A = this chain, B = another copy of it.
Amino acid sequence: MKKYSEMTKEELLTLKAALDEQFKVEEAKGLSLNMARGKPGKAQLELAMPMLDVLQSDSDMNTLLGNDTRNYGDLDGIGECRYLMADMMEVHKDNVIVCGNSSLNIMYDTVARSYCFGVNGGTPWCKLDKVKFLCPVPGYDRHFKITEQFGIEMINIPLGEDGPDMDMVEQYVNNDPAVKGIWCVPKYSNPTGISYSDETVRRFAALKPAAEDFRIYWDNAYCMHHLYDDDQDQILNILEECEKAGNPDMVYIFCSTSKISFPGSGVAAIASSINNIDHILKLMTVQTIGHDKINQLRHCRFFKNKDGLIAHMKKHGDILRPKFEAVVNTLEAELGGLEIGSWIAPKGGYFISFNSMPGCAKRIVALCKELGVVMTGAGATYPYGKDPEDSNIRIAPSFPSPEEMEMASAVFVLCVKIATVEKLLSEM
């Protein structure tokens, strides 16, 4: 097939007529599909159901240290769960607080604490004229919503295949004391699926922040979420690298089992230097008496250890792989060589990121909606919901079945073609 950009007006008009016919055919199907939501499918949820059997009315409810999980106590989480989450994050148990069900909530609270009380005794951000965060884009909309709610100015940083543009990151962080943080999804990034290279991680660790209270918000949401057993991304340990570089307090790591056990009923944790953890606990002791320790125990008894997590996540990968491949194969078969869009075939995570020609993303999403396929809103992957190029679309293949993903992908590529032809014609 000829590249669209090389077509004459007549060729484009002929193509458009054919695409419009296809559109009518799809429209007549009355589809109702959803590629918007990064939530596990039913088959994945079933994998964790036996977890509900491990604690019953006759179970021993004590931790290994003999603490009764049914009563108050253990603000920083029960010992065995701190070990489990520490292993997941590849840090020491003492660097971990296990919290409630949501790592997003931990990130929110971490920003909120900094806003109200300052970082480790520094000036509360609410007393400053200006606070800025760096936002690698495309990125996770819920990160951006947090910083937006607190009135923090967000600065776009292009995300490449090795991670954020580190020249820009260094330029901002090392020179502007108003820059207090950067949102990172270092492994199987949301939404592009890329993982940070060793050089990227080392350059992060070697930052010389102008602001003493600058922190890296390292959301390792997909640390266990591989699609291919024999081809997994590995990232360097940021906490270790920061220590080595003389910046031991510079990173907060977040993770959870939301997409391992149950979304909403998992356990979430934060890891950081002992110094940071102590400051967090000192404030946290006023916020709550403790988190759900029975659910922590349930997770420990079910998964047992990191090997248990790995074995479990292999099953998730087996379920997700065909869904991802259905999308990627359709993109390659239908759009390959046309130069009207680009994407990366991810090796893990929850998303596929698609870049259309500039100015087409909103139109593509609108066309998909007309055909009954709901996509994440165009722009959602950028701060303030504004994609300056109107180009990026996040595809979430996890919830529908592989067959539904095939149908939805067929609709998607059709809409990409139509929107692109419309754009090219409008510019002639």
Contact = CB atoms under 8 A, between A and B. Distances in A.
Interface in A50-73: 50-53, 55-59, 61, 68-73
Interface in A71-117: 71-73, 100-102, 104-105, 108-109, 112, 115-117
A294 interface: yes
A115 B150 CA distance: 11
B45 A264 contact: no
Contacts of A142: 286, 289
Contacts of A124: 126
A70 B373 CA distance: 24
A69 to B, nearest CB: 8
A32 interface: no
A386 B44 CA distance: 54
Interface string A148-177: 111000000000000000000000000000
Interface in A264-320: 264-265, 283, 286-295
Nearest to A150: B116
A115 B126 CA distance: 10
A130 interface: no
Contacts of A290: 102, 264
Q: Which of A104, A108, A149 has the most CB of B within 10 A?
A: A149
A51 B283 CA distance: 32
Contacts of A48: 70
B145 A286 contact: yes
Nearest to A45: B70
A398 B51 CA distance: 32
Nearest to A149: B286
A219 to B, nearest CB: 14
B116 A39 contact: no
A19 B149 CA distance: 62
A102 B75 CA distance: 12
A180 to B, nearest CB: 15
A36 to B, nearest CB: 12
Nearest to A127: B126
A9 interface: no
A258 to B, nearest CB: 8
A70 B264 contact: yes
B101 A292 contact: yes
A23 interface: no
Interface of A: 37, 39-40, 42, 45, 48-53, 55-59, 61, 68-73, 100-102, 104-105, 108-109, 112, 115-117, 124, 126-127, 142, 145-146, 148-150, 262-265, 283, 286-295
Given A52-B294, A124-B126, 15 more contacts: A45-B71, A52-B55, A70-B262, A72-B263, A73-B264, A100-B100, A100-B292, A102-B289, A108-B287, A112-B112, A126-B126, A126-B127, A146-B286, A264-B289, A264-B292
